[in-house]
Amino acid sequence: MGQKKLIKFAAIKEYNNVLEFPQGMPGKWAAFFNILNKGTTAIDIANLSISDSLVGPNISSDNNNEDVLTKLTLELACGRGEYAVGLGRMFPNENFIGIDLKGNRIWKGASIANKDGLKNVAFVRSQIELTSNYFAKDEVDEIWITFPDPQLRWSKAKKRLTHPKFLRLYQQFLKNDGIVHLKTDSPLLYNFTLKVIELYGLHLIYKTDHLYNEQNIDPRCLIKTYYEGLDIAQSSKIHYIQFNIGQDLPLELDAVLKEAIKDIPMDIGELIRMEAEAARAKKED
């Protein structure tokens, strides 16, 4: 591993705004941000109180804390965390957490948040598959999924972050009327997600296959991420979907989905991406 990566890994271990695979956090994020805001040096998870308004598995409130639950938004597959940081700046009274496995990428966002004194922004280093270990039922208001790997091969569809397998995971901590945002340059992932929404009868709030062509763009959508800037698919078209997942996602529909997505076409941009991603992965190894 390169020296630069090692330095970044060591740095995030010292950062108060980064938690790596944290144990015992469900229900405690209000208390966490309260302490982060006060700027004390070390945050001891064991001593954080659980928010009174949260109930759920393994949660028992001490009914004795003053930590007010503020709106909490996650950025999944956050990379350098442009959304966590950008939204943190836009909404100083709300809290934001970026989640990614790669510590050297998280380091970037966490360093900017520290430098700019953004006390409402934090990062969790972990696999997304483990997120239900970190949040209590109803603790999260919104989820942004920004330029995730589209997992283009049909056989990898279950790894797409809007596959029902993942949506069921998010349901464990996202409020019933909570919102999921997907921003992607992959037409395949966009069409796949629309198919999921249609098949499982989810509530589609908004969709566009050409975000920057829209008349009125939600200012949050103007935040640009590192991968957006790379324009790997060379499509210069950004797709965006907003939807709710507040209802059951029957397991038996997964087999129907598997068949239904066989025909979603892969355009030339996706083929360019496949090659570019393979080359990048080789370089990073």
Catalytic positions, written as ranges: 149
The site map against ligand SAM for 252-281 (x = CB under 6 A) is: ------------------------------
Among 105, 163, 237, 239, binds ligand SAM (CB under 6 A): 105
Among 71, 102, 165, 220, binds ligand SAM (CB under 6 A): 102
Q: Which residues ranging from 111 to 130 are in contact with ligand SAM (CB under 6 A)?
A: 127-129
Minimum CB separation of residue 163 from ligand SAM in Å reads 12
Do 128 and 22 meet the contact criterion of CB atoms below 8 Å apart? no
226 binds ligand SAM (CB under 6 A): yes
Distance CA 64, CA 148 (A): 40
Distances (CA, A) of 24 to 48, 49, 59, 136, 228: 9, 11, 10, 10, 34
Distance CA 133, CA 58 (A): 10
**Closest residue to ligand SAM, Cβ-based?**
79
149 binds ligand SAM (CB under 6 A): yes
Minimum CB separation of residue 98 from ligand SAM in Å reads 9
Task: Determine the angle formed by the axes of helices 103-115 and 82-90, rounding to 10 degrees.
Answer: 20
Q: In this chain, which stretch among 76-84, 111-119, 211-219, 266-274 interacts with ligand SAM, using CB under 6 A?
A: 76-84
Is 105 or 137 the residue whose CB approaches ligand SAM more closely?
Answer: 105
223 binds ligand SAM (CB under 6 A): no
Q: In this chain, which stretch among 39-47, 53-61, 169-177, 224-232 interacts with ligand SAM, using CB under 6 A?
A: 224-232
Minimum CB separation of residue 185 from ligand SAM in Å reads 9
Minimum CB separation of residue 82 from ligand SAM in Å reads 6
Minimum CB separation of residue 64 from ligand SAM in Å reads 35
Full 3-state SS string of 96-164: EEEEECCHHHHHHHHHHHHHCCCCCEEEEECCHHHHHHCCCCCCEEEEEEECCCCCCCHHHHHHCCCCH
Q: Who's near 280: CB < 8 A, 6+ residues apart? A: none
Distance CA 138, CA 56 (A): 8
Q: In this chain, which stretch among 22-30, 55-63, 144-152, 198-206 interacts with ligand SAM, using CB under 6 A?
A: 144-152
**Binding-site ranges for ligand SAM (CB under 6 A):** 77-79, 100-102, 105, 127-129, 146-149, 225-228
